């Protein structure tokens, strides 16, 4: 599967946080997030392992009991079923890979 860069396909997950599924296979899914300064990703957990990379911007990310300020070029891994949340400190772009595929993130035409 290939994905050509474009501005289509973003959907608002919660106010200030947009998601676009870039590509996926049988086992993994890669998504891009557009994060607006001042928005918050509320505490949550899911069974998927999640590995991320901050392309640009800055956020404060809490994984379990550990909080770090994340900037461009930083990366993280969130084990499945681990509580996590984030506060967006600057307009940001992040890319994350999920294992297994998050069916809820598949484009509507693939469900």
For position 40, what pLDDT does the model report?
97
Q: Which of 7, 96, 92 is nearest to 56 (CA)?
A: 92
Render pLDDT for 63-84 as a digit per residue (tens, 0 to 9).
999 999 999 999 999 999 999 9
- Collect all residues with Cβ–Cβ distance below 8 Å to 89 and sequence separation of at least 6: 37, 57, 58, 59, 60, 69
**What is the pTM (predicted TM-score) of this model?**
0.92
Contact between residue 49 and residue 99 where contact means Cβ atoms under 8 Å apart: yes
Distance of CA 92 to the CA centre of its chain: 11
The residue extents of the domains of the chain are: 13-54
Percent of the chain with pLDDT over 70: 97
For position 1, what pLDDT does the model report?
75
């Amino acid at each position: 599967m290939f994905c050509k860069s474009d501005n289509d396909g973003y959907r608002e997950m919660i106010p200030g946080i947009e998601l676009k599924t870039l590509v996926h296979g049988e086992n993994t899914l890669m998504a891009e997030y557009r994060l607006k300064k001042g928005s918050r990703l509320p505490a949550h957990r899911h069974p998927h392992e999640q590995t991320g990379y901050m392309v640009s911007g800055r956020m404060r990310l809490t994984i379990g009991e550990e909080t770090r300020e994340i900037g461009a070029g930083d990366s993280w891994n969130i084990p499945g079923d681990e509580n996590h949340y984030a506060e967006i400190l600057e307009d940001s772009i992040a890319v994350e890979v999920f294992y297994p595929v998050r069916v809820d993130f598949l484009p509507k035409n693939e469900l």
